[in-house]
Amino acid sequence: MGDEGKRALFAKTSALLFPIDWPEPFGLVMIEAMACGVPVIAFRAGSVPEIIEPGVTGFVVNTVDEAVAAVESISLIDRNRCRAEFERRFQASRMAAEYVTAYQRLIDARDFTADLSLSVA
């Protein structure tokens, strides 16, 4: 499904249920939902606790009963705020700027004198 199809689907969706049970390192589908203002109900595994802000972008649950309760509470999530949180945390330009900052810190911390001593014969 392309981006337009996803947007059309998410426009009619109250929430994304993400019943993960493995150590997912990122969970792009959660980010795609949040980009459309769709809150996420996800099981606590992998990156879920780092991505979902409970009560703002969705709910992090531990059991099926907690997931059911979260579905019943999904109307408490403001979709505009969910979208705004996506923009604040996951917009490409922000993420790229943070990569540049991280790389610059690594460059600044590197000991260039060690490199010079290797090139002297």
Q: pLDDT confidence of 116, banded at 50, 70, 90? A: low
pLDDT at 37: 96
pLDDT at 118: 56
Q: Is it the case that residue 109 has pLDDT exceeding 90?
A: no
pLDDT digits (tens, 9 = 90+) for 3-25: 888 888 888 999 999 999 888 88
pLDDT tens for 22-53 read 888 888 999 999 999 999 999 999 999 999 99
- CA atoms of 44 and 23, how far apart (whole Å): 9
* Residues 65-76, mean pLDDT to the nearest whole number: 97
What's the predicted TM-score (pTM) here? 0.79
d(CA 101, CA 108): 10
| Total residue length of the chain | 121
Distance CA 37, CA 56 (A): 10
Question: Is the confidence at residue 114, as pLDDT, over 70?
Answer: no
Token output for 61: 């649950």
The residue behind tokens 């604040």 is: 88
List of domains in the chain: 3-90 (3.40.50.2000)
113's tokens: 């004198």
- Separation CA 119–CA 64 (nearest Å): 61
Higher-confidence position of 41 and 97 = 41
